[in-house]
Structure 1
Amino acid sequence: MGFAAQASVQGGKGPARPDRIAKIRLQFKTFLSEATGFYHDLIMKIRAKYGLPLGYFSEESENRIVMEKDVKKSAEMKKGLISCHRCLIYLGDLARYKGLYGEANSKSREYTAASSYYLQAASLWPSIGNPHHQLAILASYSGDDFLTVYRYFRSLAVDNPCSTARDNLIVAFEKSMLLE
Structure 2
Amino acid sequence: AATDVAKRLDDQKSCALTAIDIFTPSSEILRCKLKDYCERLILKDPISHARKIEELLWRRGFYDAVAAAKKLRRGGNWDEAEKALLSTHIQVGVGFYHHLILRLQQECGLDLNSIVDFAFPEPAAAKGKLGSTEVQQSALKIIHRSLVCLGDLARYKLDVDPSWDPMIATRYYKMAISVDPTIGMPHNQLGTLAAHKNHGIDAVYHYLRCILCSEPFEGTDGNLKRVISTNFYAGRDKAPLQRCAARLFGLLHKWDNEASSIDKINEDCE
TM bin (shorter chain):
0.7 to 0.9
Partner of 1:26: 84
The equivalent residue for 2:157 is 98
For residue 51 of structure 1, report the CA deviation from its aligned partner. 0.8
Q: Which runs of 5+ in 2 are unaligned?
A: 1-16, 19-73, 117-130, 236-270
Specify the alignment match of 1:36 in structure 2: 94
Relative to structure 1, the CA distance from residue 137 to residue 179 in structure 2 (aligned partners, 3 Å threshold; closer, same or farther) is farther
Please give the TM-score of this superposition, normalised by the length of structure 2: 0.51
Q: Residue 44 of structure 1 aligns to which amino acid in structure 2? A: L
Matches of 2:196 and 2:106, distance apart in 1 = 36
Query: Partner letter of residue 94 of structure 2?
Result: T
The corresponding residue for 1:50 is 108
**CA distance in 2: counterparts of 1:31 and 1:23, whole angstroms:** 12
What is the match of residue 185 of structure 2?
130
Are 2:230 and 1:171 equivalent residues in the alignment? no
Q: Could you say which structure has the higher helix fraction?
A: 1
Aligned CA distance change for structure 1 residues 93 and 138 (closer, same or farther; 3 Å): same
How many residues align structurally?
A: 148
- Secondary structure of the equivalent of 2:163? helix
Structure 1 residue runs without a partner (length 5+): 1-10, 59-71
| RMSD between aligned residues | 2.2
CA distance in 2, matches of 1:144, 1:40: 34
Q: TM-score, normalised by structure 1?
A: 0.75
1:100, distance to aligned residue in structure 2 (A) = 2.3
Query: Aligned-pair distance for 1:144?
Result: 4.1
State the distance in 2 between where 1:141 and 1:97 align: 16
Q: Could you tell me how far apart the structure 1 residues matched to 2:234 and 2:132 are?
A: 53
For the pair 1:87 / 2:87, whether they are aligned, the reply is no
Q: What percent of counterpart residues are identical?
A: 29
Amino acid at match of 2:141: I
Runs of 4 or more above 6 Å deviation: none
Cα distance in structure 2, aligned partners of 1:179 and 1:99? 29
